[in-house]
């Protein structure tokens, strides 16, 4: 949905991270359009990177830099709804980047309105997922906004071309880590790594590349139990201490990181059908996913839980494909949130060298009744009644054999 036809933009807001791609984009936009560029930096919990990005954007010619703290909004309005759904793409990926992009794009549009810009730009590549996530959000919230996607317009075809352009234009590039991949994304939920050092899926991750979660050999030598408390499907406290939504993610991230929890090395299927090797570190997301499932297992009606699990892959696919603001995701969210009214309680998890094991769960709305569950004598379940259940539910098998003249089908 790149829109460069007609009138040239008068003011562009660029989603800026300070990395190679967006740094080149910032300079290229000035050359191409000769108009003011405001650099928008979304604070999703990156820490020290933020001020580095501010300094770099101003040095490269941005007329202003807007750093917007989105941490609480990210946790409460994006991460928590997704984790109420137990969303996991292709059975593994907890989608820390996928869920961040709609918020970044939505906040970028807010900045564009604030500064009176008539165009927004991003540095996502022309074959990657993020362009879709950005532009679906723009389309849902501001379909009239001009969108500029340099990777689909400019003359560069590789990141080596970008490095050459950066060198020619005195754009600072951090190559201090040698084999560092070109793409690293960090927020409260996770850190993702992809690129040159990881492109061969047969090779292990280079030593020292991952920085957020401790290696299993370096993890804490003793196990630790962490308690996560929930109200209506949302985590509200860790180890008995009430925390803000972002505070929950920060605390779980710190605890999980020191125990080596949350590393994932996968080959995933991108939106455009190609496969890519990605490595993720998601300590907070991993703990939260297990804890939520534990409390939910007590509180939900069995058929509601099964239906919710059936909906999860579809929900996860919608999030992965950038359809956060689509009506179908909103419809599913309403159904999921209805189920979460009773998901209140606490889960206890044992963490040890990369493992997360649920060791206890409680809920004031628990449907677990020891009178029904026990293998000892009880007065609430007449065991001979089970015979009728089996007899009725095998009618179709008997009918099938009769229709086939007694032969098995």
CA 72 vs CA 29, 116, 188, 195, 201: distances in Å? 31, 26, 10, 30, 35
pLDDT at 377: 62
pLDDT at 3 over 60: no
pLDDT at 374 over 60: no
Write the DSSP symbol of residue 222: S
How far apart are the C-alpha atoms of 130 and 9, rounded to whole Å? 22
pLDDT band of 308, cuts 50, 70, 90: very high
* Each residue's pLDDT tens digit, 110-134: 999 999 999 999 999 998 899 999 9
Q: Do the domain assignments include residue 90?
A: no
Task: From the candidates 54, 84, 101, 321, give the one annotated as an active-site residue.
Answer: 101
Q: Do the domain assignments include residue 80?
A: no
pLDDT at 375: 57
Q: How many domains does the chain have?
A: 2
pLDDT at 373 over 80: no
Residues 118 and 212 both lie in one domain: no
Residues 218 and 125 both lie in one domain: no
Which long-range CB contacts under 8 A does 157-161 form with residues at least 24 apart? 159/20, 159/21, 159/195, 159/196
Q: Do the domain assignments include residue 146?
A: yes
pLDDT at 73: 98
Residues 147 and 287 both lie in one domain: no
Residues 305 and 212 both lie in one domain: yes
Domain closes at, from 116, 149, 179: 179
Contact by Cβ (8 Å): 33, 154: no
pLDDT at 178: 46
Structure tokens at 207: 């030593």
Mean pLDDT over residues 142-152, rounded?
96
Task: From the candidates 84, 130, 185, 277, give the one annotated as an active-site residue.
Answer: 130
pLDDT at 176: 54
Q: Do the domain assignments include residue 398?
A: no
Residues 154 and 199 both lie in one domain: no
Residues 106 and 163 both lie in one domain: yes
pLDDT at 312 over 90: yes
How far apart are the C-alpha atoms of 324 and 151, rounded to whole Å? 23
How far apart are the C-alpha atoms of 13 and 64, rounded to whole Å? 10
pLDDT at 215: 96
Residues 222 and 292 both lie in one domain: yes
What percentage of residues in the chain have a pLDDT greater than 90? Answer: 77
What percentage of residues in the chain have a pLDDT greater than 70? Answer: 92
Residue range(s) defining the domain that contains residue 34: 12-71+95-179
Q: To the nearest 10°, the Cα dihedral for 139, 15, 85, 310? A: 60
Q: In the annotation, is 385 catalytic? A: no
Alpha-helical (H) ranges within 34-70 are 49-59
Feature table: binding site for L-citrulline: 93, 98, 129, 133, 183, 192, 268, 280
Residues 164 and 230 both lie in one domain: no
* Each residue's pLDDT tens digit, 343-353: 999 999 999 99
Q: Which residue has the higher pLDDT, 393 or 298?
A: 298
pLDDT at 32 over 60: yes
In the block, which residue shows the tokens 């419809």?
Answer: 331
Radius of gyration of the chain (CA): 25
Neighbouring CB atoms inside 10 A of 75's CB total 27
Q: Do the domain assignments include residue 401?
A: no
User: Positive or negative, the Cα torsion across 309, 329, 83, 139?
Assistant: positive
Neighbouring CB atoms inside 10 A of 161's CB total 13
Neighbouring CB atoms inside 10 A of 360's CB total 12
Domain closes at, from 179, 209, 230: 179
Q: Across the chain, how many H-helices and E-strands are there?
A: 14, 14
pLDDT at 12: 98
In the block, which residue shows the tokens 């101003």?
Answer: 58
* Each residue's pLDDT tens digit, 77-95: 999 999 999 999 999 999 9
Feature table: binding site for ATP: 15-23, 42, 123
How far apart are the C-alpha atoms of 231 and 188, rounded to whole Å? 21
Q: Which residue has the higher pLDDT, 388 or 375?
A: 388
pLDDT band of 109, cuts 50, 70, 90: very high
pLDDT at 151 over 70: yes
pLDDT at 407: 65
* Each residue's pLDDT tens digit, 380-399: 667 788 888 888 888 888 88
Query: What CATH number should be reported for the domain holding residue 314?
Result: 3.90.1260.10
pLDDT band of 179, cuts 50, 70, 90: very low
pLDDT at 237 over 50: yes
**Which residues pair with residue 162 across a beta bridge?**
none
pLDDT at 6: 59
Q: In the annotation, is 130 catalytic? A: yes
Task: From the candidates 21, 180, 263, 284, give the one annotated as an active-site residue.
Answer: 21
Q: Do the domain assignments include residue 278?
A: yes
Q: Do the domain assignments include residue 300?
A: yes
Residues 197 and 332 both lie in one domain: yes
| DSSP E strand stretches across 249-304 | 263-269, 275-281
Mean pLDDT over residues 295-299, rounded?
97
pLDDT at 24: 94
Domain closes at, from 179, 197, 226: 179
- ∠294-320-274 over CA atoms, to 5°? 125
* Each residue's pLDDT tens digit, 63-75: 999 999 999 999 9
Feature table: binding site for L-aspartate: 125, 129-130
pLDDT at 49: 81
pLDDT at 175 over 70: no
Cα 173 to chain center, whole Å? 27
pLDDT band of 4, cuts 50, 70, 90: very low
pLDDT at 405: 78
How far apart are the C-alpha atoms of 336 and 233, rounded to whole Å? 10
Residues 143 and 173 both lie in one domain: yes
Feature table: binding site: 15-23, 42, 93, 98, 123, 125, 129-130, 133, 183, 192, 268, 280
- Please, what is the average pLDDT of the chain? 92
Q: Do the domain assignments include residue 23?
A: yes
Neighbouring CB atoms inside 10 A of 254's CB total 12
CA 346 vs CA 32, 343, 360, 367: distances in Å? 55, 9, 8, 15
Query: What CATH number should be reported for the domain holding residue 102?
Result: 3.40.50.620
Task: From the candidates 54, 97, 142, 183, give the one annotated as an active-site residue.
Answer: 183
Structure tokens at 151: 């990777």
- Whole-structure pTM value: 0.91
Q: In the annotation, is 21 catalytic? A: yes
Residues 158 and 263 both lie in one domain: no
Q: Which residue has the higher pLDDT, 202 or 173?
A: 202
Residues 297 and 197 both lie in one domain: yes
Q: In the annotation, is 183 catalytic? A: yes
């Amino acid at each position: 949905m790149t829109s460069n036809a007609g009138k040239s933009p008068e003011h562009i807001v660029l989603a800026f991270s300070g990395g190679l791609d967006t740094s080149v984009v910032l300079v290229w936009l000035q050359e191409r359009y000769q108009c003011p560029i405001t650099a928008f930096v979304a604070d999703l919990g990156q820490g020290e990177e933020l001020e580095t990005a501010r300094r770099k954007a101003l040095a490269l010619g941005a007329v202003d830099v807007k750093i917007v703290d989105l941490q609480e909004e990210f946790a409460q309005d994006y991460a928590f709804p997704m984790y109420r759904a137990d969303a996991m793409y292709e059975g593994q990926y907890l989608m820390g980047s996928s869920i961040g992009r709609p918020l970044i794009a939505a906040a970028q549009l807010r900045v564009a309105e604030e500064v009176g810009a008539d165009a927004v730009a991003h540095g996502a590549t022309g074959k990657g997922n993020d362009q879709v996530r950005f532009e679906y959000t723009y389309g849902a919230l501001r379909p009239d906004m001009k969108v500029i996607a340099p990777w689909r317009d400019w003359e560069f075809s590789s990141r080596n071309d970008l490095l050459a352009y950066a060198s020619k234009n005195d754009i600072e590039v951090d190559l201090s880590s040698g084999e560092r991949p070109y793409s690293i994304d960090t927020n409260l939920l996770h850190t993702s790594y992809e690129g040159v050092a990881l492109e061969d899926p047969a090779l292990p991750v280079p030593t020292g590349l991952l920085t957020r979660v401790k290696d299993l050999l370096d993890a804490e030598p003793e196990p630790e139990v962490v308690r996560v408390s929930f109200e209506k499907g949302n985590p509200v406290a860790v180890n008995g201490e009430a925390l803000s939504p972002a505070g929950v993610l920060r605390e779980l991230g710190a605890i999980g990181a020191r125990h080596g929890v949350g590393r994932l090395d996968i080959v995933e299927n991108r939106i455009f059908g190609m496969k890519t090797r990605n490595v993720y570190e998601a300590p907070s997301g991993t703990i939260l996913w297990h804890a939520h499932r534990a409390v939910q297992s007590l509180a939900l009606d069995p058929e509601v839980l099964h239906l919710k699990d059936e909906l999860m892959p579809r929900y996860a696919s919608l999030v992965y494909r950038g359809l956060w603001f689509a009506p179908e995701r909103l419809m599913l969210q309403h159904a999921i949130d209805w189920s979460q009214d009773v998901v209140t309680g606490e889960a206890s998890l044992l963490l040890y060298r990369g493992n997360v094991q649920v060791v206890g769960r409680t809920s004031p709305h628990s449907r677990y009744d020891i009178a029904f569950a026990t293998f000892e004598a009880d007065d609430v379940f007449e065991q001979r009644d089970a015979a009728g259940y089996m007899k009725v539910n095998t009618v179709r098998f008997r009918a099938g054999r009769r229709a086939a003249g007694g032969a098995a089908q």
